[in-house]
Structure 1
Amino acid sequence: MQPQLPETHAALGYYYYYGHRDYDHALQEFRIAQRRLPNDSEIAEAIGLVERRKGIWEDSIANLNRATQLDPLNARFLGILSDTYDGLRRYADEKRVIARERALVGEATDVRLDAAIVTMKETGSTAELRQVLNGIDPKDDSDSTGYTRWIVNMMERKFDQAVTDAQRAQLPKFEAASAIYPRELLCGLAYWSKGDRAAALPFFEKARVAMEPAVAKGTEGPRLRIALAIAYAGLGQKDDAIHQGTLAVDERPIRVDAVAAPLIIGSLARVYTMLGEKEKALDLLEKITVVPFGPSRSYLKLDPCWDELRNDPRFQQLTQ
């Protein structure tokens, strides 16, 4: 191994980024590598990703754009750039990048879903998103597609369909950005939102049993821990729900990870809402609706998990 090679510094950057979530050291190593390889698209992308985690938004956008310029045929680069614009709520920019993706890969499922999600966020309508999902067999759902299908069913108040599609999916869990959801947890949440708490309880219990050992091992990170907190909330285990939810947020604060943290905080707001702690839920929502990667106004308007908050003036202010 030759420690001064730029490739060695790039490898160390990935080690710190993926292995330890040590974004300061990762950025340091990637910048050393970039000085020797200024036209390397992978290094430009890596720097943009680290800067995104650190909340250095304009620099992140600049480096991710540079990666697409250095390698204009790389669809992954375009996907990351569009996702970043989405987190920044820059939907016009996001749509332009998605158009470039379409020109490159055609009508791929993920690209069509991304375009429809932007429309939903801009207009508050799920019609285009529903049309795309109707053309995909639930048995073929990826993590993101399956979770999107569940979300749309919930937004359209099709709670029984949300349960059916989750149960038909081949995946035992769906890894969303906000949490890792076992199928049983999604079913429980659907029945909970429907108001059928008796039907929800067995699913929450199955989800709890499935998640507790993995959370105890500490190998899955805060996204599974926050999902366990949601299951506890559904079971009425208030202290356990708040404990696990708070631990999840403390594991990934905004100052450490500006991308993941708002999403996990949003899941804790869901926990507080389920527990009837409306003021605490609103405190969190007010915090994350003004930062990148927090919930959009359309999401707050459509998602039934916030129904208990809808008549509160503080919540109504967030959706205007």
Structure 2
Amino acid sequence: MSFFEELKRRKVFRVAATYAVVAWILMQIGEVTFPALNIPEWVMSTLVVILLAGFPIAVIFAWIFDKTPQGYIKTDISDTENIGGMNVKADNRPFFLQKRKIFLALGVLAGILIGTYGGSAITSNVDSKSIAVLPFDNYSTAPEDQYFSDGVTEMIIANLAKIKDLKVISRTSVMEYKNTTKKLKDIAKELGVAHILEGSIQRVGDNVRIVGQLINASSDGHIWAESYDGNISELFSMQNDVAIEIAEAMKSELTSDEKERINETLTESTPAYEYYLKGNMFDNAGHYKEKMLSAIQEYERSVALDSNFAEAHAKLGKMHAHLRWYGVDLSNERMLLSKKHIDKAIKLKPDNPVVRAARGVYYYHGYRDYGTAMSDFLYARDLEPSNAQFNLYVGTIYRRLGDYERARNNMEKAFELDPKSLLILQNLQGTIIFLRDYIGANVLGNKDITNQRIIYWNAMSNFYSNGKIDESLDIITNNEFVNTDEIMWGELNLSLFGKKFERGQRILGKIKSNIQSDEVNFFPKDFYLGIINDELGKKSLARENYIKTIDFLNKHLIKDPLDERAYATLGLTYARLGRKDKSLEAIEKLDELLPISKDALFGTMHAKQKGRAFAILGDIENALETIEYLSALSGGYHYGELLNDSYFDSIRDHPRFQSVLENLKPQS
């Protein structure tokens, strides 16, 4: 008899397989139940060691002994069917009739199911080295010190984000848990992390106490806890110590370079640092004129106290560039101020990721120099891959360069790091819509966070995919933001697409602002009134509206001759007046200022207006060429748009137009 046959005769394989299955089931049960019962982690480790040590013992016993009705006896070494005085017949029945084998198979199946849907339900897709830093409680006597505790929280997050081995949830997503009563396990599940850091800050005069505790989210057990007391001048070292000790407690790989960057002192001036924290508070509040100007004021105070504070100079330069990008101040003087502070920051700390990212914003928002901006953003992101803002910056630049898939990937990474960020969500959702992945966009739109822009994208995604006006209008009007201007501008455009001109007229009367102005659109109310009157047969009134629109746009272009949005609207308005020469002149200027080769996002969106102008001017060949070209690009025309847009009524039955429409129609 061969050795293999002897192993089978002594049932060694059966014992080994049974032992492995039972051990596996025990480990999976332990993984599921131990955290819920707050059983210490060492118990699980001990169980694994015992089970591993027991395996060879079980195999040895299987070789030496055999189980019989009379008990365990030493296995007969002879090749006989007589075991323990009994004749045992080999079981040659099929597998499904052998109880022991059925039990063994069921055991394997149970182990797989428990492993897949049990323990992994807690740990699947959750990085063991992931962490969310909840807003530290402010125990200071002065309520105005709230910015201080929030600022310290933000700096601890920033320090942890410098460690490549960690996944760190960004500030925006954790701030909503300030003063929350939610359980830590629920917070961790919502944010997709394995660990939570919570703590408090108390400031009395120049004395500061920081208390922190690191908690394992699944077991609710404390991994690390510490308190730090010192003078406010020691704040940097306290913040840095917190980050380093947390990294060590989470057993992360902390390189010497990362440790050096964490221990870097931003400024020797405590008041300058406090103004910097206040500036960050306004910077984080959104790109609103008042917030941006307030941030600039605080950063200016900071650099006035410490002219060598590189990060404060960098953020001051960034905010000046923001003012231009968001249309608050389009002057050259504003960009000179931006350059002054960016140059100073680069001179002080040329390799600092905050400084490099700020310079990227300068090139991005100031001059649309996307290639140069990308090199700075990539540098910053590669140094701090857990920084959601850096990932978002990289994604937005890829989108400008026309690489929408890479844009989506980087924005998804940013959203993973900052899952409560409306800014990231609306950028990601818009990008997915531009890729014509309407199902993916709708899934994102059903998240539990929303604002006017998300509602707008939800409605437009529905409209672009199926062209159903009433459905899309229901989405955009059945929400808490229905009476905000942004939603009403969206409702107006959908109404015009659906040829609901009386409804459009009513909406226009409710909108408070006199112009639809955002990153892409620049349409005064008179432009829309002209369309409505035109379509309702009130030609003379429409002409008056168009002339007022042209007068308004020309005055605006005297102040800002490089505003491509105004030329896009001017080209459409002249086309509706039948002024082909003037319309083409505006279109040529639009092409000169922002061709698709320079900006794949806005260039494509503005080029769509060219197609409309050509169509209404009766230039069928140029209209069809534009439609065919843009329909092949991400961010170009959509199925529902071409199906309904009245600009294309005159060419909708053309075979080439119908071919484009068929190609764009989403597959059911």
Q: TM-score with structure 2 length normalisation? A: 0.45
Q: Which moved more, 1:21-30 or 1:72-81?
A: 72-81
Matched with 1:17 is 364
1:138 Cα shift? Answer: 10
| Distance change (3 Å), C-alpha of 1:220 and 1:186 | farther
Q: Could you report, residue by residue, the CA deviation over 1:176-224 in whole angstroms, capped at 9, with x for unpaired residues?
A: 6653111100111223344543331010011011110212343562111
1:48 Cα shift? Answer: 0.4
Matched ranges for 1:225-304 at <5 A: 225-304=567-646
1:12 Cα shift? Answer: 0.2
Q: Which has the higher strand share?
A: 2
Instruction: Give the distance between the partners of 2:364 and 2:453, measured in 1 at CA.
Output: 25
Q: Which has the higher helix share?
A: 1
Which one-letter code corresponds to 2:449 in the other structure? L
Q: Which moved more, 1:164-173 or 1:129-138?
A: 129-138
Instruction: Give the distance between the partners of 1:307 and 1:136, measured in 2 at CA.
Output: 32
Instruction: Give the distance between the partners of 2:638 and 2:482, measured in 1 at CA.
Output: 29
Q: Work out which of the residue numbers 47, 50, 56 in structure 1 matches 2:403.
A: 56
Q: Which moved more, 1:37-46 or 1:128-137?
A: 128-137
Instruction: Give the distance between the partners of 1:36 and 1:269, measured in 2 at CA.
Output: 43
Matched with 1:120 is 463
| Count of residues in correspondence between the two structures | 315
Which one-letter code corresponds to 1:245 in the other structure? I
Residue 141, structure 1, aligned to residue 488, structure 2:
no
Root mean square deviation of aligned Cα: 2.1
| Distance change (3 Å), C-alpha of 1:177 and 1:274 | farther
Q: Could you report, residue by residue, the CA deviation over 1:120-159 in whole angstroms, capped at 9, with x for unpaired residues?
A: 222221222222444479994334x233212221122112
Matched with 1:78 is 425
Matched with 1:205 is 547
Q: Could you report, residue by residue, the CA deviation over 1:244-302 in whole angstroms, capped at 9, with x for unpaired residues?
A: 11211231111111111121111011111222212211111111011000110111111
Which one-letter code corresponds to 2:460 in the other structure? I
Matched with 2:56 is none
Instruction: Give the distance between the partners of 1:209 and 1:139, measured in 2 at CA.
Output: 31
Which one-letter code corresponds to 2:568 in the other structure? I
Given that residues 616 and 648 in structure 2 are in contact (C-alpha distance below 8 angstroms), is that contact kept between their aligned partners in structure 1? Answer: no
| Distance change (3 Å), C-alpha of 1:137 and 1:49 | closer
Q: Could you report, residue by residue, the CA deviation over 1:14-68 in whole angstroms, capped at 9, with x for unpaired residues?
A: 1111111110010011112123222111000000000110012222111111101
Instruction: Give the distance between the partners of 2:580 and 2:480, measured in 1 at CA.
Output: 37
Given that residues 130 and 152 in structure 1 are in contact (C-alpha distance below 8 angstroms), is that contact kept between their aligned partners in structure 2? Answer: yes
Residue 188, structure 1, aligned to residue 497, structure 2:
no
1:89 Cα shift? Answer: 0.3
Which one-letter code corresponds to 2:500 in the other structure? K
Residue 111, structure 1, aligned to residue 458, structure 2:
no
> Percent of aligned pairs with the same residue?
23
Matched with 2:438 is 91
Matched with 1:45 is 392
Matched with 1:4 is 351
Given that residues 204 and 231 in structure 1 are in contact (C-alpha distance below 8 angstroms), is that contact kept between their aligned partners in structure 2? Answer: yes
Given that residues 529 and 545 in structure 2 are in contact (C-alpha distance below 8 angstroms), is that contact kept between their aligned partners in structure 1? Answer: yes
Given that residues 214 and 220 in structure 1 are in contact (C-alpha distance below 8 angstroms), is that contact kept between their aligned partners in structure 2? Answer: no
Instruction: Give the distance between the partners of 1:247 and 1:226, measured in 2 at CA.
Output: 9
Instruction: Give the distance between the partners of 2:383 and 2:615, measured in 1 at CA.
Output: 51
Instruction: Give the distance between the partners of 1:90 and 1:205, measured in 2 at CA.
Output: 40
Instruction: Give the distance between the partners of 1:180 and 1:82, measured in 2 at CA.
Output: 22
Q: Could you report, residue by residue, the CA deviation over 1:72-117 in whole angstroms, capped at 9, with x for unpaired residues?
A: 22222111111100001011221222223xx234xx4443332232
Q: TM-score with structure 1 length normalisation? A: 0.91
Which one-letter code corresponds to 2:629 in the other structure? K
Given that residues 193 and 304 in structure 1 are in contact (C-alpha distance below 8 angstroms), is that contact kept between their aligned partners in structure 2? Answer: no
Instruction: Give the distance between the partners of 2:599 and 2:441, measured in 1 at CA.
Output: 22
Structure 2 gap segments, 5+ residues each? 1-344, 663-668
